[in-house]
Each structure stands twice: as structure tokens, then as C-alpha cells.
Structure 1
Amino acid sequence: MSRLFDADFEDDNEVKKEILLRPENFKEYIGQKRIVQNIDVMVTSAKMRNQSMDHVLLSGPPGLGKTSLAMIISKALESELHVISGPAIEKKGDLAAILTNLGPRDVLFIDEIHRMHVSVEEILYSAMEDYRLDIVIGDGAAARTMQIDIAPFTLIGATTRSGLLSNPLRDRFMAHLHFDFYQSDELAQIITNNAKKLKITVEEHATLKMAKCARGTPRIANRILRRVRDFAVVRESDLVTEEDVSKSLEMMEIDPNGLDRMDRKILEVIRDYYSGGPVGIEALCATLSEDRTTIEDVYEPYLLKEGFLIRTPRGREISEKAREILNA
């Protein structure tokens, strides 16, 4: 059973849709084989020792299955899952209240853990190592430390930018596991499995087309699948065709290379405003009227991976491959 602390997770319809398409166990989890093997060993060891599993840090671009894996870990451990996002923890008392409410061997999943304030983060140090809260009461000469024991628990931290974590916090995780983008065949298998959950049939060519346009990301693959499902429903058909996929991608403004409107805008701005680059990230963000974190965390990883964008000491440049696509 999961307990969700963050209001961002409380849209019932969206939560139900997301949970429906999430893998339920390690066997159903497609891709990230090295990570799954490591986690499987850690879970088995914890159950054999009858102790909480070691703390784990999951890093990588958004949408690659970090939350899904946390849910599977909790289920495999037969423990309760508590979910919170880093920015939602504003005060030390907020985190202290969460930690004191954890049961033995519960799993605490903190998404975007790199966005927690350092003063809040410090509470985790003794909690992770000694299962104890060190709370300072009073100020100045009258200040004293109160220690509160908490139940042994497992912390799973998820981050898109592990470099922003402080060294003291990062060092307290026993396993650091990095998620990579998925291959097209892995995404095709995910789409096939989830199509069955949605009770629709997808043509093979349609499946492959969705997989190739999903930017190596299961979340985007599921988003495209749900959109093409809508086309099939409107046509009163249980079969999703390649034409359905083409219409869905066109409406979502996703091209055959998996680039969406913002991806193309980034490349076009560098080409048209800065003669192809190099351009500094601050200047690029100002021209795009977009937040730096969004550019670096959401859009750049895929553009860099596919060779459309090049990062140099002087700034961002577009590649010849990008020029060919933009001029096509």
C-alpha cells in the first residue's frame, strides 16, 4: 500500500492511469537490466536478513521509471511506500514528522531530492545512518539536542541532477544507480504490454513508430499510446493503426525523429539567432523565455544523446545532423 504525502500526486484520475501502466514486479519491468539486477539482490538480501534494505539513489532524466521501480521495491519488500517530492519539504519539522511516522522497514521515496533545502537535508544524515533524529531545541547558550529514535527504513532518492546533491547526503546512499535512455525495442515491448492493459491491439508497424518517436522515454511512449488509443476509440475500433499513430504525433507536434515543438524551437533559435552557436545557456534561456532547469533537465539530454546539440566550453552549438533535419 502506498501513502502519498505530496499534493502533486493526488489527482485521482491521473494517478489511476499512471498506476495502470506501471510494471507490477521486476519481471514485468522492461529495460535497465543492470539496475534491476542490483535492486533484486538488495531486496532479496534484506528479506533474508529481516532488515530494512540499504538506501538507494536513482539518477537520470525524467520519465525513465524511477518512481515505478520504487513502487516495485516497496511491493517486493512487503512494506508501505511513502512518497514525497523534495520541494514540498519546506521545513525541518515537515521531514521530521514524516520520518517519525514511518513503520519498521517502510520505504520513503523522495523525488527531486536534489531540490531539498540544505538545512532540511541535514535531518536525514543521522536518520539514514543511525535511525535517529537529532533535533536542536532553543537558541544560544540554552540550546540543547534532543534525540528521537525512528524505525529502520529505506530511503530511495530520485534525482535528475545528482551533481547538485551535497557530498554528505550522497555518501550516505549505499547504492548509486543511473538510468539510461531506452532502446526502441525495449519501448516497443513496453507499448505492447501496456496496450494489453488498455485492452487495445496495436499493429506492429504502429508500435515501432511510437517507439521510435518516444525519445527513449517510457513516460512519453505511454503518453503517445494513450493518445492513439483515443483515436481508436473515436473510430470505434479496438485496433490501433499506423495512421492513428501518425495523426496522434501530428497533433502532439512530434516529428519522426521524436522532436517536439520545443526541441525544434531550441535548435531553430540557435540556428537563426546565433548562427548555429556557440551560445551561452543564459542567453539561450532568455531568448526562449524558458527556465534554465527545464532546458537542461527536460530537453537537452535527448538532444545531446541523439547528436542534435553539442555542448562546448563556449556554449551550445547545433550539429550538422540538426541542420539537415531543420532544412528538410
Structure 2
Amino acid sequence: MTDRSYEVDVDDDGPTGAEEEQLTRAGAGDPERAAEAALRPRGLGDFVGQPQVREQLSLVLDAAQARGRAPDHVLLSGPPGLGKTTLAMIIAHEIDKPLRVTSGPAIQHAGDLAAILSSLEEGEVLFVDEIHRMSRAAEEMLYVAMEDFRVDVIVGKGPGATAIPLELPSFTLVGATTRSGLLPAPLRDRFGFTGHLDFYSTEDLHRVLVRSAGKLEIAADSAGLQEIASRSRGTPRIANRLLRRVRDWAQVRGDGTIHEDAARAALRVYEVDELGLDRLDRSVLQALCRRFRGGPVGLSTLAVSVAEEAETVEEVAEPFLVREGLITRTPRGRIVTDAGWRHLGYEPPEAPF
């Protein structure tokens, strides 16, 4: 078995140099993800947005600490980039316990999970990203581990196989998923707290960018950050990524400061329009309007027309286009709304095709 989990100790001063190195390795050598790790808030008080989830989670953690027990297991759901991993790190920081990080795709056998669980220490936080992608055998082992803090290790094969119960220390499991509907009901029911993260408002994203600009020592005015926030699709991860790209433009072609004109010019270079649509989003919208006269058209046909995989169109482009009211999904296929036609500068047809 290849153990793809890693441990991060969280203390009051934030991660040490060695821990920062672990976070960087978690990004698989990707500089973008390493930069995101450096911008993560360390405590609930620093976490911007999601007020309901923050308040509920604060109550769960404070009550558990007052009782001197490990907090209940936590399930965090919501679209990518909204802060599920950050909240897992904050949970470990708030209760002053180490954080063990792994992911559902890395746990394909019950033995993989047993090895991780048996190495946990008392009160440790285990974070499983993409928990809906765990194997069924590992899920069934997790049921007992979450409820009874025990795993049954099978020794031998066939009729002579023996189950040896292995007691586990109390721990807190934090699961993150972008598709909570794929989690089996028995697993969902074992989480003591479930929090759903929603897309951020432009105002909250502006606050995120003010904090990030300060951390990265980027010179920026409020109007420039507001322009970036308005095009960030309600997602802090995208906002921080665009901030770094606009910084690059300001350093190379501007005066080094992010202001409104600089932000607009930079985002024009990176093909991010006023609503936050990127190249793929506009390709899908333009194909629907120009080639299929607004639809309806099936997913596979639409994907071929923009030279992308059907999964990419369905999971990357469509959710934002639907949320912004630019297209709709019907049993017959995808249809462009009047707002979608007008966003591309076209007059909507008088009657649907």
C-alpha cells in the first residue's frame, strides 16, 4: 500500500517551515496550490464569509472543548474552491491537535484505511478530501471506526480467516465532498455536524482579496480589488488566482499597482469577462447560439462542438452558466436563455427553436 496521507501539526503561530513544506508537497509541485496554502486563514476569526457555517462550527468546537472530548465528526459539502480544506485545518488549529490529510481516491482498499486509522493519535483530526470517491469496502470499515472507534482487521483467507478487533483512539473525521448526493446514507448519518458552503458575495470576495493582497504584499486599491472580486464567480480560490495574474500584469505592463483600469486590462488578456466567463464558458455559449440556434442540444453533441470532453462541459462550464441564468438544462437538452443571447451581444429569437 502507498500511504498518500500526510500530517500537519497546527499550533498557535501557524505552520512551521517544515509544515509549510508539507503543504507545498500536498499541491504535487503546483506553485498555484502552494500559494493558495500560504493564503489560508488559521482560525475561525480570520475566515471570511460563510457566517452560518462559522457560527455553527464554533459552537460544536467550543462545546466539545468544554466537555474535554473530541468534537463530533464533520462533513463539509459544496462546490470546489470555497474553503472546505481550509476549514479542516482551522478545526485542527482551534482544538490544538495534529491534522492528518488524505483523499478518497487514495483509499481504494480497506487495508489502506486501516493503516491510516491505526496510526492516529488521541484527539487527532483526520481530513478526507473527496470522501465520496472512497471504495465501498473502505466506507463500510469507516462506519465502525466513526461510531465505535474500532476496526476489524481480517487475518488469513477463506474459511480460516479471522477478524481481529483493533481499538482506536478517539478522533475527529472531517470529510469534504463536492457531491454529497453520492455519499451513502449510513455514512452521512454518522457525521455529527454537516455544513454546506455556498458561493461568496462580491463583498465577501473583496474582503478575501484585501487580506490576500496584504499577505502577498501587493499594492492594490479598493476599486481594483472590487473589479477582480466581481469576476471571480463567487469563489475565493478563483479570486486569489486572478489576483496573482493581475499582479503579474501590473508588474510587467503597468506601474506595479492594481487599480481598476489595470484589473480590466489584465483580465481582458486572460479572457475573463465582466461576468467571470472564461474561454470555455464563452465557447459553450457561442456554440449554442451560433451553431444550434439556441438549442436544445444534447451534452455529447455540445461537447464535440467545442472540442472538450462531455464531463468537462458538464462539471466545469455548465454549473456557472446555469447559476448565472445564461443557459437552462431541460429533458431535451441545453437551451440559451434571453440573458445568454444578450450577454454575447445578440438579440434573442422571438420563439424557441
Shorter chain as denominator, the TM-score bin is: over 0.9
Residues of 1 paired with 2:340 and 2:181: CA distance?
28
Cα deviation digits, residues 23-43 of structure 1 (max 9, x gap)? 121111111100011111111
Match of 2:342 among 320, 324, 327: 324
Displacement of 1:237 in angstroms is 4.7
Q: State the SS of the aligned residue for 1:27.
A: helix
| 2:36 is the counterpart of 1:18 | yes
Q: State the SS of the aligned residue for 1:120.
A: helix
| 2:205 is the counterpart of 1:187 | yes
Stretches of structure 2 lacking an aligned partner (at least 5 in a row): 1-7, 10-18, 347-353
How is 1:35-114 mapped onto 2 (pairs within 5 angstroms)? 35-114=53-132
Stretches of structure 1 lacking an aligned partner (at least 5 in a row): none
Q: State the SS of the aligned residue for 2:344.
A: helix
Contact (CA 8 Å) 2:76, 2:197: kept in 1 or not? yes
Number of the residue aligned with 1:221: 239
Displacement of 1:228 in angstroms is 1.6
Paired letter, 2:190 = R
Match of 2:280 among 262, 269, 272: 262
What is the root-mean-square deviation of aligned Cα atoms in Å?
Answer: 2.2
Displacement of 1:319 in angstroms is 1.0
When residues 227 and 51 of structure 1 are mapped into structure 2, their CA distance, relative to the original with a 3 A threshold, is: same
When residues 236 and 198 of structure 1 are mapped into structure 2, their CA distance, relative to the original with a 3 A threshold, is: farther
Number of the residue aligned with 1:171: 189
Residues of 1 paired with 2:196 and 2:215: CA distance?
28
Residues of 1 paired with 2:273 and 2:333: CA distance?
26
Identity, % of aligned pairs? 44
Instruction: Calculate the TM-score normalised by the size of structure 2.
Output: 0.86
Q: State the SS of the aligned residue for 2:44.
A: coil
When residues 267 and 35 of structure 1 are mapped into structure 2, their CA distance, relative to the original with a 3 A threshold, is: same
How is 1:241-280 mapped onto 2 (pairs within 5 angstroms)? 241-280=259-298
Match of 1:306 among 295, 301, 324: 324
Paired letter, 2:322 = L
When residues 172 and 224 of structure 1 are mapped into structure 2, their CA distance, relative to the original with a 3 A threshold, is: same
Q: State the SS of the aligned residue for 1:258.
A: coil
Displacement of 1:278 in angstroms is 2.4
Residues of 2 paired with 1:115 and 1:25: CA distance?
28
Match of 1:207 among 200, 217, 225: 225
When residues 204 and 14 of structure 1 are mapped into structure 2, their CA distance, relative to the original with a 3 A threshold, is: closer
When residues 144 and 279 of structure 1 are mapped into structure 2, their CA distance, relative to the original with a 3 A threshold, is: farther
Instruction: Calculate the TM-score normalised by the size of structure 1.
Output: 0.92
When residues 116 and 6 of structure 1 are mapped into structure 2, their CA distance, relative to the original with a 3 A threshold, is: farther
